[in-house]
């Protein structure tokens, strides 16, 4: 399902380049042939066309810029959202014998950073964060070399993180201009209509060719289990984990909850369980991630911190104990299941109380009006300048009670004000920006909730948000189409046949009642 509508039809001269590309594929990467989508992407890039590509995860996205790296003349700059991802990818390239690859981030010693910037001309691949790309010294060094390709990996971050959490994502287009407008490749696995529009808009990819593989993962069955309250939801979770094939991921929205659930699951079900969230030490996160990847864990309870760049083929189950604030994030998270093409199950557990948390998480992204007035006061009295001292400005906002994201959002907004604007006009402008963003986020949340409560086929309803049509309904589609959890039962359960479901329910109820 490749959308070739916008592909340029130059033809002819690119044949040579593609022959070389296939040679590189075989000789360096030891693959016999391209996978679906890869050839079109590489061919377009080699013809000098920008590309916006949506490929399923595990579909070999990195090859799409690695191979051009061996054919084009100049540096390939890859914007990556996570340091751990940069490390994994530079490591993978080193494994195949590539030495001309570096990652530039805060984990690299300042002296080494300086050395890297001095030797950019001799590198083939450079990984860095959007934040790093805004540092004048970095931009300066990059303008001195020829950048052949500008890659935005995990491009949905532009839309999902750029507006509030990591505003530097919205400034990539300007930086690309400063680098003499190299050919650009934006890569992601899932992008609904709005995310697509954001990517195209904020990366200035008006004339890019679109190579879109569908987001549907027919081998992942979808189900929502409605419960009365949280204790009942927990009971359902334990029952599910007891019954179905593992390993599995349990997503929740709070750090403490990941630990509590991991404790509970370990104690009640005797499964090898761990937790993972953004507040842990990086070395612990690595450790748990590796344990999960190598198969020494059955269940991982985690926040949304876990998942990006994780490529474990045999995850059989993804449970949402609490749901994310939009369908794009949801699809991203359940998409981690069953990459091997085997059966996968995505279960969203819902209790009425769950609807409150996403609302407050969205609200927490934005500064309050009194805080805006305070900040504008600092500016008008000449105390602080968000443009000249963004860090000090953000720090002062946080001292005054703003959360980090809200502080960053406000600092970024105030930097963009036209010179000489009145305080009243500035306030109106920021209020409007906040209002618009909240509208969008609450709109996305409503879509998510509508999907949870839909009576239609979940797959069909979900694909609709991604502007796709369900062409073929898989055998195990969704709860609305009549799947049964017992179809996903693990070996122990299948041996025991039909009355097992009743059995675990009663046993768990007994266990939970005797707990306190």
Partner DNA sequence: CGCCGCACGATTAGTCGTGCGGCGGTGCACTAAT
Distance CA 146, CA 133 (A): 16
Nearer to DNA, 302 or 485 (CB): 302
Taking the alpha carbons of 201, 203, 208, 209 in that order, is the dihedral positive or negative? negative
In whole angstroms, give the CA distance from residue 380 to residue 137: 30
Among 27, 360, 399, 498, binds DNA (CB under 7 A): 360
Stretch that binds DNA, among 63-71, 192-200, 247-255, 330-338 (CB under 7 A): 247-255
How many residues are there in the chain?
Answer: 516
Residues 307-346, one symbol each (x = binds DNA by CB under 7 A, - = not), give ------------------x---------------------
Q: For the stretch 54-92, what's the b/e string if a residue is b when 16 or more beta carbons lie within 10 angstroms of its beta carbon?
A: bbbbbbbbbbbbbbbbbbbeebbbbbbbbbbbbbbbbee
Among 38, 227, 234, 253, binds DNA (CB under 7 A): 253
Number of shown-chain residues binding DNA (CB under 7 A): 44
Query: Could you say which of 1, 256, 267, 475 contacts DNA (CB under 7 A)?
Result: 256
CA atoms of 456 and 145, how far apart (whole Å): 54
**Residue 276 main-chain phi, psi, to 5 deg:** -155, 125
Residue 128 to residue 70: CA distance in whole angstroms: 19
Among 190, 243, 303, 332, which residue sits at the site for DNA (rule: CB under 7 A)? 303
Using the rule CB under 7 A, which residue among 23, 364, 383, 450 binds DNA? 364
Chosen residue from 48, 121, 278, 377 binding DNA by CB under 7 A = 278
CB of 391 to DNA, least distance (A): 5
Token pair, residue 98, equals 């590539």
User: Of 126, 145, 149, nearest to 48 (Cα)?
Assistant: 149
383 binds DNA (CB under 7 A): no
> Is residue 233 involved in binding DNA (CB under 7 A)?
no
- DSSP 8-state code for residue 463: H
Toward DNA, which CB reaches closer, 42 or 252? 252
- Give φ, ψ of 46 to 5 degrees: -70, -20
Question: 202 or 488, CB closer to DNA?
Answer: 202
Nearest CB to DNA, comparing residues 230 and 417:
230
Q: Which CB atom, from 223 or from 328, has the smaller least distance to DNA?
A: 328
Which one of residues 405, 411, 413, 493 is an interface residue with DNA (CB under 7 A)?
405
Q: Which of residues 116-135 bind DNA (CB under 7 A)?
A: 128-129, 131-132, 135
Per CB under 7 A, the list member of 107, 267, 425, 450 interacting with DNA is 107
Q: Which helix (H) or strand (E) holds 274?
A: strand 273-276
How many helices (H) and strands (E) would you count in the chain?
A: 21, 13
Q: How far is CA 76 from the centre of its chain?
A: 22
CB of 81 to DNA, least distance (A): 6
Quick one: 88 or 479, whose CB is closer to DNA? 88
Q: Is the peptide bond before 446 cis (omega within 30 degrees of 0)?
A: no
250 binds DNA (CB under 7 A): no
| Distance from the first to the final alpha carbon of the chain | 55
The region of 8-16, 49-57, 241-249, 273-281 touching DNA under the rule CB under 7 A is 273-281
* Position among 16, 404, 467, 503 found at the interface with DNA (CB under 7 A): 404
CB-based contacts of 396, cutoff 8 Å, min separation 6: 378, 384
Q: Which of 268, 256, 452, 264 is nearest to 346 (CA)?
A: 452
Count of Cβ atoms closer than 10 Å to residue 421 Cβ: 14
Site string for DNA, 186-225 (x = CB under 7 A): ----------------------------------------
With CB under 7 A as the contact rule, which of the stretches 23-31, 163-171, 196-204, 469-477 interacts with DNA?
163-171
Adjacent-strand bridge partners of 225: 349
Tell me if 288 contacts DNA by CB under 7 A: no
Given candidates 17, 83, 139, 417, which one binds DNA under the rule CB under 7 A?
83
Binding positions for DNA, rule: CB under 7 A: 81-84, 104-107, 128-129, 131-132, 135, 160-161, 164-166, 230, 253-257, 277-279, 303-305, 325, 353, 356-357, 360-362, 364-365, 391, 403-405, 408
């Amino acid at each position: 399902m490749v959308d070739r509508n916008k592909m340029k039809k130059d033809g002819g001269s690119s044949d040579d380049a593609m022959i070389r590309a296939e040679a590189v594929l075989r000789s360096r990467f030891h693959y016999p042939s391209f996978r679906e989508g890869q050839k079109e992407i590489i061919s377009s890039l080699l013809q000098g066309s920008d590309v916006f590509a949506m490929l399923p995860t595990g579909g070999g996205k990195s090859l799409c810029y690695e191979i051009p790296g061996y054919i084009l003349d100049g540096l390939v700059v890859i914007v990556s959202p996570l340091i751990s991802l940069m490390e994994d990818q530079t490591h993978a390239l080193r494994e195949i014998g590539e030495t001309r690859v570096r990652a530039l981030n805060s984990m690299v010693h300042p002296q080494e950073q300086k050395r890297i910037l001095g030797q950019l001309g001799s590198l083939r691949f450079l990984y860095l964060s959007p934040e790093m790309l805004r540092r004048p010294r970095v931009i300066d060094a990059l303008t001195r070399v020829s950048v052949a390709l500008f890659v935005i990996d995990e491009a949905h971050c532009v839309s999902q993180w750029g507006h509030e959490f990591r505003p530097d994502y919205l400034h990539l287009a300007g930086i690309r201009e400063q680098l003499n407008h190299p050919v650009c490749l934006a890569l992601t696995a899932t992008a609904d209509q709005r995310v697509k529009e954001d990517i195209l808009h904020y990366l200035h990819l008006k004339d890019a060719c679109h190579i879109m593989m569908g987001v549907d993962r027919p081998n992942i069955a979808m189900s929502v289990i409605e419960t009365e309250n949280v204790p009942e939801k927990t009971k359902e979770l334990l029952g599910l984990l007891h019954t179905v094939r593992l390993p599995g991921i349990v997503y929740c929205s709070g750090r403490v909850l990941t630990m509590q659930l991991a404790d509970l699951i370990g104690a009640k079900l005797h499964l090898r369980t761990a937790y993972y969230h953004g507040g842990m030490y990086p070395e612990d996160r690595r450790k748990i991630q590796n344990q999960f990847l190598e198969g020494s864990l059955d269940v991982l309870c985690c926040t949304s911190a876990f998942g990006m760049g994780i490529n474990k083929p045999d995850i059989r189950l993804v449970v949402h104990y609490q749901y994310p604030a939009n369908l794009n994030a949801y699809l991203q998270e359940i998409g981690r299941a069953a990459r091997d093409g085997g059966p996968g199950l995505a279960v969203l557990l819902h209790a009425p109380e769950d609807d409150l948390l996403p609302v407050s998480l969205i609200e927490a992204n934005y500064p309050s009006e009194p805080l805006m007035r305070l900040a504008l006061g600092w500016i008008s009295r000449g105390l602080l300048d968000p443009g000249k001292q963004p860090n000090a400005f953000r720090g002062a906002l946080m001292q005054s009670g703003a959360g980090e994201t809200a502080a960053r959002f406000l600092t970024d907004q105030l930097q963009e004000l036209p010179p000489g604007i009145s305080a009243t006009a500035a306030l109106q402008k920021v209020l409007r920006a906040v209002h618009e963003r909240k509208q969008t986020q609450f709109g996305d949340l409503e879509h998510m909730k509508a999907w949870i409560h839909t009576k239609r086929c979940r797959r069909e309803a979900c694909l609709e948000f991604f502007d796709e049509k369900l062409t073929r309904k898989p055998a195990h589609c969704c709860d609305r189409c009549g799947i049964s959890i017992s179809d996903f039962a693990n070996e122990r359960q299948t041996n025991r046949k039909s009355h097992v479901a009743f059995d675990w329910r009663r046993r768990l109820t007994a266990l939970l009642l005797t707990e306190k």
